[in-house]
Chains A and B, each alone.
Chain A
Amino acid sequence: MTAPVHVAPRPRLGRVLQQQGALIALVVLVVFGALRYGEQFATGFNIQSLLADDAKYALVALGMTFVIMTGGIDLSVGSVAALGGVVAAQLSGAGLLPAMLAALGVGAAVGLANGVLVARYGLAPFLVTLATLLVARGLALQLADARSAVADPASGFQDFGRWSLLGIPVSFWIVLVLFAAGALALHATDFGRHVLATGGNEDAARLMGLPVDRTKVAVYVLSGTLAGAAGAFLGAQTGSVDAAAGQGWELTAIAAVVVGGTLLTGGVGSVFGTLVGVLLLQLIFNLIVFENGRGVIEISSYWESVIRGAFLLAVVLLQVRLTRRRAAPT
């Protein structure tokens, strides 16, 4: 009997595109922007405002990445961000730290509710988080009296939104640190591997004796907490949080996660890819603004969502091709 030597196929173009396509597109667009719009595009101001804007979406998308990797989904993040932002703004008088912690706490609480309902009671994630979307939004509107919650101008709350280090806003530094931590957790801790195993084959994960339910609760808590933080960032950036803020963030985040190469069926994901996805989707908007600034042709900013949708379509079709090949007998 000869020894079976199976050589796994080399990565194909499709796989490279799926995993790194967003990064390639991002690089191409940055180079394009720098060449076409020159210094204006590369100014500190533009980069700063772009990154400060991205920070909150990135936080939400980071949590969503983990949820999706377990095979779940979290629709409540936009509302939770609004709730967290309102709470943070209202408590801003007590100082930056208590305000931030309160926002995180509120987010974690909603996340815990999601996680318990999904993991412990086996309810459909889509509907559970749809319900908490409504509840969290209702609470935000109630707390803010259906208006904007304005941060205490005397507090240091808004300073946070203005701090920057080496030309990059502090909020984005925090995002970078969190993404690095997320990537590390995914790659090199049991938690990360449990997340991927749960999403990849839940039954197998249980048979392997992995803590599937605990992992699920954890990812929803993480997602809620980060969404709360995103709300606080929004408040610090603008000085007030509209109780209606964050609408549609959940779907933007899902799009960024998918564009970044994470499979919606769970089990495969990239934290770094999500960051690239967020930057890419926001950059499209930025470039449209610049193009219009040149005044040669007018590109409506509405192209933004159309292009986002097109990106999502391309990524989804690419994923289909790859997973089909997997399903085919080898």
Chain B
Amino acid sequence: MPETVSDPAATRSPESAAAATGRRGAVWAARAQRYGAGVLLVLLFAYNALATPNFLTVQTLLDVQLRQAAPVAIVALGMALVIATGGIDLSVGSVMAIAGQVGALTLLAGVGPVAAVALALLAAAACGVFNGSLVVRYGVQPIVATLILFIAGRGIAQLLSGGRLTGFRDPAFQFLGLGRVAGVPMPVVLMVVLAAVLWFVVRYTAYGRTLLATGGNPRAARLSGVRVGRVTMIAYVASAALAGLVGLVVIGITSASDANNVGLGLELDAIAAVAVSGTPLTGGRISVIGTLVGAVVLRLLQNTLIAQGVPREVAQIVTGVVIVIALFLQRRSR
């Protein structure tokens, strides 16, 4: 009917819409949005392979580049879930601090590493339930709902710590941060395993399908019998639990929980990683591999610039510029 076709491009894919209207620039924008992060990764990799001494060694790749990217990448996976519902989670950094502190304290209390990890993850998940309830039950905007724990969460962690560094020695626990599996650092192993699990969940489980339906069109999802609230809640809990796990990894590396600094500013890095992967913040889409690539690319970009003698500060500027470019591509391709 006439009135429904007034915006023919609105319902089609970026590429086909762009192709239909014959805007060459938009076609390129759509491709750049989808593959930009991957292309950037390849370029950075090639450049470093040629220009950076010792770049192409297992040592550099695994222990430096990937290991540094892993914490952000894991948090970004949870963030991607929340973003797929159309939300955002600002509290991940604070939740990391809480989980790290709970882990360290319970370990010192002598419950053993397994129970310590379990309790820490439980604490993190509880934070997720808090966020999720505000969003689902009370309809609070996600930014505000998670801002509350962003502010209060670190305070809670600091209260638990009394403001002191909580050091511990427990090889089994430290394995989370320092261990190696077949020579691969544990954080990298976790990153790969969790990404694989999430990839499977998104692709093959009912949850993955309902997640995308919820973010893509909540009204249609509800009319099709999807429990939209429950799906959203699970995303927030998963995001918090993943953040909690990363909190444990971080304190595992340093053998001490520093409630003041664990996870500080990580929420923004994680959001940036998702944005660079070409995932729109409006929900309904998720790219597990893209998010991983996004996190690695941002880290590699910074490291490359720094290795080239660019001051660390300027490297940060480049990250900001990359985000804006990603946003522009999303907009152009629409």
Q: Which residues of A contact B (CB under 8 A)?
A: 73, 117, 121-124, 126-128, 130-135, 137-142, 146, 243, 247, 251-252, 254-255, 258, 264-265, 300, 302-306, 308-310, 312-313, 316-317, 320, 324
Contact = CB atoms under 8 A, between A and B. Distances in A.
A73 B153 contact: no
Interface in B67-113: 88, 90
A126 B88 CA distance: 10
Contact of A312 (B151, B265, B275, B281): B151
Given A134-B319, A300-B162, A142 B148 contact: no
A182 B258 CA distance: 41
Main DSSP-derived SS at the B contact region: helix
B317 interface: yes
Given A146-B311, A251-B147, A305-B151, A131 B321 contact: yes
B152 A309 contact: yes
Contacts, number: 134
Contact of B331 (A73, A123, A139): A123
B204 interface: no
A164 to B, nearest CB: 31
Contact of B313 (A121, A122, A146): A146
A49 to B, nearest CB: 22
Nearest to A113: B324
Given A126-B281, A300-B159, A302-B163, A320 B139 contact: yes
Given A123-B328, A130-B271, A134-B320, A302 B159 contact: yes
B256 interface: no
Given A117-B324, A122-B331, A255-B147, A305 B155 contact: yes
Given A138-B313, A310-B152, A312-B148, 14 more contacts: A117-B327, A121-B331, A130-B271, A134-B319, A140-B313, A141-B313, A146-B311, A243-B313, A300-B158, A300-B159, A302-B158, A306-B159, A312-B144, A324-B139
B313 A251 contact: no
A309 B311 contact: no
B281 A133 contact: no
A254 B315 contact: no
A303 B159 contact: yes
- Find the residue from B152, B163, B312 having the highest chain A CB count within 10 A: B152
B147 to A, nearest CB: 6
B155 A138 contact: no
B316 A264 contact: no
B132 to A, nearest CB: 14
A139 B311 contact: no
B268 A258 contact: no
Nearest to B282: A124
A128 B318 CA distance: 14
Interface of B: 88, 90, 134, 138-141, 143-145, 147-156, 158-159, 162-163, 265, 268, 271-272, 275, 281, 311-321, 323-324, 327-328, 331
Given A130-B323, A134-B323, A258-B144, A124 B281 contact: yes
Nearest to B145: A316
Contacts of A317: 138, 140
Given A131-B321, A324-B139, A308 B158 contact: no
A65 to B, nearest CB: 15
Contacts of B151: 251-252, 255, 305, 308-309, 312
A135 B312 CA distance: 12
Contacts of A302: 155-156, 158-159, 163
A137 B316 contact: yes
A305 B320 contact: no
Contacts of B323: 127, 130-131, 134
26 contacts: A124-B281, A128-B327, A130-B272, A138-B313, A138-B317, A138-B318, A138-B320, A139-B317, A141-B316, A146-B312, A146-B313, A251-B151, A255-B147, A302-B155, A302-B159, A305-B152, A305-B158, A306-B155, A306-B156, A309-B149, A312-B147, A312-B148, A316-B134, A316-B138, A316-B144, A320-B140
Contacts of B317: 134-135, 138-139, 142
Given A121-B331, A302-B163, A316-B134, A132 B140 contact: no
Contacts of B327: 117, 123-124, 127-128, 131
Nearest to A252: B151
Contacts of B316: 134-135, 137-138, 141
Contacts of B314: 138, 142
B316 to A, nearest CB: 4
A254 B147 contact: yes
A135 B325 CA distance: 13
A73 B143 CA distance: 10
A131 to B, nearest CB: 4
